[in-house]
Structure 1
Amino acid sequence: MELEANGKNLAGDFLSPLLFCICLNPLSNMLEKTPYGYQFKNGTKINHLFYMNDIKLYTNEERNIDSLIHLTQVYSIGMTFDVLKMPNGTIKDIEERYKYLGIIQSNIDHEAETVKEEEQSIKADAASMATSDKLVAEFQSASLTMELRPDDEEIDWHMKPLDGAYHRQVSEVDDIHQTYMWLNKENLLANTESLLMAAQEQVLPKRKLQTKIYHTRDNARCRLCKDAPESIQHIISRYKRLAGNAYTERYNQVAGVVYRSLCDEYGLNKLQHWWEAPRMVNENDLAKILCNFYIRTGKHILANQPDIVVVDKENRRATTIYVVVPNDYNIASQE
């Protein structure tokens, strides 16, 4: 329940507002001492607000608002008031919107309405400035062009040089769900995941990015090998100095994960630590796993040392596994 009263017949000199406030301060104290008002969950009670020559009264029951009105009218002898009482006693019943202290008083989305008003105000100010400010006029022209452009003419993010690069690289991958499964397990620290995603999206500050996208550097060549543009792709898969050590170590770790999973599946003794090299032969009654084992063949085959061979004794089936750690752009070709 709320009520608004507007004071009238006030003198227009400079001293009157001060005298008016002095006279109404006791009324505020009297209203605070009444048991009427609206109480919030934290215990705070409110039954009136003063602003300029307005007073707004609040209660949680309609019968109590009459008591506050009576007190205000008795105290304010000599002043006349326009009393506006909310229909049926609730804000939700207000059909016409009005403002108090600059805030819309009605049952609507106040935040959205305020933002809308601010946008309209800014547009009006910009329109008035555009007549004398060339920069504002150019901005208005560009904004109008973007608003009028049909959706089918908008720039497709897939084709953007940076935002769409990763999507274009993995567009031929058959199973995107498997590709992103590592993100669904939720076993990474937040900073680790963000670093991996930044590397995947090619946004780590390497020289190719600085040259082609940010335009803060003239030379995009790798600072070490000078053979190719310095990018994440180049560092993690094409840098010759890393081929014999870092790339091999990464390959061995991936193969180790596959090996330990197979040992769990067939109940074989697995490695105690991740850095241990898999056994060349690991066997029980169910299966035999061969790692980097030379396979004797009747016909000469050059690549006769597969990464992992799983011999399922129960089903009399052998599976050959080749471990590949491809870059994003050649996942499909490696498959």
Structure 2
Amino acid sequence: MLNRSSYGYSLDQSRKLTHLFYVDDLKLFARGRQQLEGELELVRGFSEDIGMIFGLDKCATISVKRGKLEREENMVLIDGQVLPTLGTEERYKYLGVQETYEIRQRENKEEVEKELFSRIKKVLNTQLSAKNKMTAINIWAIPAFIYTAGVLTWSRTDLERLDRETRTTLTQYCVLHPNSAIERLYIPRRESGRGLSSLENVYLKEESRIKTFFLQSNLPVHHLQQPEVDLPSTNTYLTQGYLYPQTEGTLMAIQDQVVPTRAYAKYIMKQNIENTKCRLCNNVEETVQHLSSGCSTIANTKYLSRHNNMGKVVHQFMCLREQLLQEFVPHHIYEPTTVREGNEIKIYWDLTVQTDPGAEHNRPDMVVWNKRRKSAIIIDFTVPLDQNLAKVYGEKIAKYETLSRQMKQTYGLEKVEIKPLVISCNGLVHRKTVEHLREMDLPSNTITWMQKAVILATVSIIRQVLFPH
């Protein structure tokens, strides 16, 4: 009705603007007071017909002539209702933005910033998991800011500052390590990042969409450059979000190699450190890699415990599969028995396998004997450094090759398989680990619990060594 009328503000010879309308928020445009009265009466009459009325406490008029706001008398409708006219210093809100005859940039930007960080802090004060906190910020806090794209003018300097203040806030709440890689914070979780939306990126993308409707901003895709890594399984802790925020933050700092080891403090932080040798073994440089999986002093304690915890998960799921256990319990309270036996299956845990002749490596972590099929599976667990993932898998195969042959001969088995299960100290999952678990018909969440056992242990080791108090 408005568009068909003769009312409206002419943009050029062929186009005119009569209104902006969103749900029940309506803004009318007219060439002068008389036209505006006509538009108001048209809207009032139609609203009355459908049983709606003006919310006069939210209505107002303004008059702009030659770029300047002019004070005019209040508008009186035919039915006697009065619409006030805004003064020169008064504002009105349309779709959440404070306006007069122009948009007051400074005032709106201050209010938007205040609302943004208020929402971020409310999210960080909750007991949500790390993943869910990032999700909540993305879908509840950041949209309060992105809503202004194309309306308020945010420079790149503004956007960089707001992203920086967001990271500072995350650090204050112990969700982000101060030295963690900034780029990784904004990479999706399925690609090994933490999944936070960058204000700069989403703002510029939204602004572009508003301008063009069809142009899209594509972020760089990041991939692990190791073909032996099963990326979806590796990112389980990120996509499922089972870690506490502080734990996830510490793990990211470990992966980014920014935790305060002696080598990092001396060579990166430029601190006055006289001795960069490991504070535990005093043999080699104290780096995050050395502490994570290379220190001889804790090899038979903390590393062994991490290794066993991962193995306990597999042992327990195997026993559950064969109904040798009734329920699953967390790895840290589960204690495997040396031998578990059912009608068809017998499971060894850390037990020497006697063969004739004897084999040098005859004590794998697990051996699963299948009586009916006359077969066996040699299972060995390992938690190497990330860069050694492929290497240790091959070493495990070679290590138990002799034992597998001798088991077939000694016990008259038709088949003996070797299945190394490898997850790095930072949680990288070897693709063969996923295949082997599937071949053994273990449930899909086995890998989740295995990875969790490794990650929690690695974070605990680093914390205990570097932050003993």
Report the TM-score when normalising by structure 1: 0.54
- 1:192 maps to 247
Q: For residue 317 of structure 1, what is the amino acid of its counterpart?
A: S
Q: Distance in 2 between matches of 1:57 and 1:302?
A: 101
Q: CA deviation at 1:301?
A: 0.8
- 2:410 maps to none
Q: Per-residue CA shift, 1:80-121, capped at 9, x if unaligned?
A: xxxxxxxxxxx9xxxxxxx824559xxxx97435426x679x
Q: For residue 285 of structure 2, what is the amino acid of its counterpart?
A: P
- 1:48 maps to 61
Q: Distance in 2 between matches of 1:212 and 1:57?
A: 72
Q: Per-residue CA shift, 1:210-249, capped at 9, x if unaligned?
A: 3333334555433443333322211121122111211122
Matches within 5 A, 1:1-335: 1-2=28-29, 44-49=57-62, 53-55=69-71, 100-102=101-103, 111-112=149-150, 114-115=152-153, 171-219=226-274, 220-269=276-325, 274-335=332-393
Q: Distance in 2 between matches of 1:294 and 1:209?
A: 42
Q: Distance in 2 between matches of 1:177 and 1:269?
A: 29
Paired residue secondary structure (2:153)? helix
Q: Distance in 2 between matches of 1:205 and 1:254?
A: 27
Paired residue secondary structure (1:250)? helix
Q: CA deviation at 1:329?
A: 1.9
Q: Distance in 2 between matches of 1:277 and 1:184?
A: 29
Q: Do 1:203 and 1:209's aligned partners in 2 also have CA atoms closer than 8 Å?
A: yes
Q: CA deviation at 1:319?
A: 0.5
Q: For residue 251 of structure 1, what is the amino acid of its counterpart?
A: H
Instruction: Quickly say closer, same or farther: Cα 1:112–1:294, change in 2 above 3 A.
Output: same
Paired residue secondary structure (1:319)? strand
Provide structure 1 residue ranges, at least 5 long, that are not aligned to the other structure: 7-34, 73-90, 92-98, 121-156, 159-165
Q: Per-residue CA shift, 1:279-334, capped at 9, x if unaligned?
A: 11100113110112221212221111111001123433210001111121211111
Q: CA deviation at 1:44?
A: 4.2
Aligned residues: 229
Q: For residue 112 of structure 1, what is the amino acid of its counterpart?
A: G
Q: Distance in 1 between matches of 2:315 and 2:263?
A: 37
Paired residue secondary structure (2:346)? strand
Instruction: Quickly say closer, same or farther: Cα 1:58–1:309, change in 2 above 3 A.
Output: farther
Identical pairs, percent: 24
Q: Do 1:294 and 1:306's aligned partners in 2 also have CA atoms closer than 8 Å?
A: yes
Instruction: Quickly say closer, same or farther: Cα 1:119–1:113, change in 2 above 3 A.
Output: farther
Q: For residue 302 of structure 1, what is the amino acid of its counterpart?
A: E
Instruction: Quickly say closer, same or farther: Cα 1:115–1:293, change in 2 above 3 A.
Output: same
Q: Distance in 2 between matches of 1:44 and 1:210?
A: 62
Q: For residue 254 of structure 1, what is the amino acid of its counterpart?
A: M
Q: Do 2:365 and 2:381's aligned partners in 1 also have CA atoms closer than 8 Å?
A: yes
Q: Do 1:269 and 1:282's aligned partners in 2 also have CA atoms closer than 8 Å?
A: no
Report the TM-score when normalising by structure 2: 0.40
Q: For residue 295 of structure 1, what is the amino acid of its counterpart?
A: V
Q: For residue 344 of structure 2, what is the amino acid of its counterpart?
A: L
Larger radius of gyration: 1
Q: For residue 203 of structure 1, what is the amino acid of its counterpart?
A: V
Instruction: Quickly say closer, same or farther: Cα 1:115–1:50, change in 2 above 3 A.
Output: same
